[in-house]
């Protein structure tokens, strides 16, 4: 959010400098600010729309991946030796790291418009309980 507000401020300052400048240098500087702010604003708007359009698909895909990791962890904790326990533990650690990162950036005031809070709220850590998987 703050990044977007700063970009909007640069755009507005550029517009004001372009139209109300007393000399050509300030007018040129205002045009550069206007162009940079406009381009960055357009890119950020496209990115924000892209992130928030497919929220339901992202939630479902994340739930499927979470359930698959829980099942793999359950198998690894059992007596079966067909699953490499180190691979499962590494995959679970990666999942948990990504969940933490996504939630952090979704609630960070600098970047929260670029992440969906609905997706962040639906993400669950994969945890090892005492002989059971907790969600």
Compute mean pLDDT per 10 residues along the chain, 135 residues long, and list them: 90 88 85 92 92 88 90 76 74 91 91 89 78 40
Q: Where are the domains of the chain?
A: 1-53, 54-135
The helix/strand/coil state of 126 is coil
pLDDT at 83: 57
Report d(CA 3, CA 11) in Å as an integer.
12
pLDDT at 134: 41
pLDDT at 78: 72
pTM: 0.68
pLDDT at 23: 85
pLDDT at 37: 92
pLDDT at 51: 87
Report d(CA 10, CA 30) in Å as an integer.
9
pLDDT at 132: 44
Residue among 47, 73, 63 at smallest CA distance from 99: 63
Chain-centroid distance of CA 119 in Å reads: 9
Report d(CA 132, CA 135) in Å as an integer.
10
pLDDT at 129: 55
């Amino acid at each position: 959010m703050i990044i977007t507000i700063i970009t909007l401020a640069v755009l507005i300052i550029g517009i004001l400098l372009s139209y109300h400048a007393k000399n050509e240098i300030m007018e040129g500087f205002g045009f550069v600010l206007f162009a940079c702010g406009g381009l960055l604003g357009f890119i950020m708007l496209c990115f924000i729309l892209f992130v928030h359009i497919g929220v339901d698909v992202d939630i479902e895909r994340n739930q499927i991946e979470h359930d698959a990791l829980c099942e793999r962890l359950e198998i690894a904790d059992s007596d079966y030796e067909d699953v490499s326990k180190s691979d499962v533990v590494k995959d679970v650690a990666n999942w948990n790291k990504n969940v933490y990162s996504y939630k952090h950036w979704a609630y960070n005031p600098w970047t929260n418009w670029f992440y969906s809070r609905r997706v962040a709220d639906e993400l669950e850590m994969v945890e090892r309980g005492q002989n059971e998987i907790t969600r």
